[in-house]
Amino acid sequence: MDKKKRKASFKTLLPLAGALIRRRLPQAVGLALALSVGVPAMAAGKGAVARVLAEHASYLANEALGYEHGEGVPRDQPYAARLYCEAARLGNAEAMYALGWMYANGRGVERNDAHAASLFAMAAEQGDEHAARMLRFTGADGAAAPACLSTPSSQIAQRWPVEALIARLPQKRQQVAQLLAGLAPEYGVLPHFALAIGLTESALDPGALSPKSAMGVMQLIPATAERFNVTRPYDPEQNIRGGLKYLRWLLAYFEGDIALAAAAYNAGEGAVERYRGVPPYRETQAYVERILRHVGHDRHPFDSSVVAPSRMLRKLRLASQEEHDT
């Protein structure tokens, strides 16, 4: 099935099958996860809050698209529906349309034409042309919205435990954790991924120094500090910004693969490329396992404009495809 087309499968929607084009959802620019820990930018007022909520909704909708079609993650349509519903609850029109389509066709959720009509009406109200076309067949009854629009999904909440995590930390580390989680969205990094790295590297200790001369919260070795213009490695904010820049670069280089990005942060991107995956170092393998366990998933949004992807990824895909073909 073409991922950009949705084939209507109920009642009189068949004539629209070739006409309704599934639009790609935009990449998230930032993430609203940091709202729970107090992003400094929120002081700018309601406009900033609305912007971050919209960006978070866009990120959730993009994640849902991946789970709906099995793109980069295992296909899980029920979970995709939960993600779409949370994004719709936050006001994302494309998520409203996508969830309406799932209800209309019984994909990942039990078919419910009334729910579909409500969601199409909500999306059309925000100017979604595809949803407006669907209303010709479903009607515009907005009185039967899914219950998930009233309250956040518990499964979504479990994926963003930033506030609870910080609350469990020792008091002297909470300020550093809040700084790290608050700065992470500025670099397109999920706060809970950034926290996982900071906790694993230094237990969020700004004065940490390893036997290999790795320094500060994000344990930057001198070469990495120089590479990302960190001149005061024991200054918490400057150190964290340097580490987040490196994480942003690694995520783009390995196209959002958290395991490879974490392995490269620990052992260097050169080692990951030599071994075409997580290096067989006991320390690195344990490091990656801990990061993945903490984050709870293995994919991360990334900014493809930061750096061209590693050529090693293409070789891995070709090898995987050849193995699959044989």
Task: Compute the Cα dihedral for 234, 237, 240, 246 and give only its sign.
Answer: negative
Active-site residue, selected from the candidate residues 63, 86, 201, 273: 201
201 is catalytic: yes
What is the pLDDT, as a whole number, of residue 47?
Answer: 64
What is the pLDDT, as a whole number, of residue 132?
Answer: 87
Instruction: Check which CATH number belongs to the domain holding 219 and give it.
Output: 1.10.530.10
Instruction: Check which CATH number belongs to the domain holding 136 and give it.
Output: 1.25.40.10
- 104 and 24 in a common domain: yes
CB 188, CB 43: distance < 8 Å: no
Point out the domain boundary residue: 135, 155, 175.
155
- Identify the residue whose tokens are 């608050």: 182
- 125 and 186 in a common domain: no
287-324 pLDDT, tens per residue?
A: 999 998 888 778 888 888 999 999 998 887 777 666 66
Point out the domain boundary residue: 128, 155, 182.
155
Alpha-carbon distance values, 86 to 35, 52, 61, 81, 226 (Å): 16, 15, 8, 9, 41
- 44 and 110 in a common domain: yes
- 174 and 112 in a common domain: no
What the block records as the tokens of 58 is 């866009």
- 179 and 321 in a common domain: yes
Which residue, among 83, 148, 82, has the nearest Cα to 118 in the 3D structure?
148
How many whole angstroms separate alpha carbon 270 and alpha carbon 272?
A: 5
314-325 burial string, b = 16+ CB within 10 Å, else e?
A: eeeeeeeeeeee
Can you tell me whether residue 190 is helix, strand or coil?
A: coil
Burial class (CB in 10 A: 0-12, 13-18, 19+), 304: exposed
What is the pLDDT, as a whole number, of residue 221?
Answer: 97
- 177 and 150 in a common domain: no
Residue at 5 is within a domain: no
Has residue 218 got a pLDDT over 80? yes
What is the pLDDT, as a whole number, of residue 32?
Answer: 34
Residue at 3 is within a domain: no
- 169 and 150 in a common domain: no
- 246 and 147 in a common domain: no
- 172 and 320 in a common domain: yes
Point out the domain boundary residue: 114, 140, 155.
155
- 181 and 38 in a common domain: no
- The total number of structural domains in the chain stands at 2
CB 80, CB 108: distance < 8 Å: yes
Give the range of the structural domain holding residue 113, as residue numbers without chain letter. Answer: 11-155
- 256 and 233 in a common domain: yes
What is the pLDDT, as a whole number, of residue 309?
Answer: 93
What is the pLDDT, as a whole number, of residue 326?
Answer: 63
Residue at 244 is within a domain: yes
CB 252, CB 271: distance < 8 Å: no
Q: What are phi and psi of 11, to 5 degrees?
A: 45, -125
Residue at 4 is within a domain: no
Residue at 183 is within a domain: yes
94-148 pLDDT, tens per residue?
A: 999 999 999 989 998 999 988 999 999 999 988 989 888 888 877 766 567 888 8
- 142 and 37 in a common domain: yes
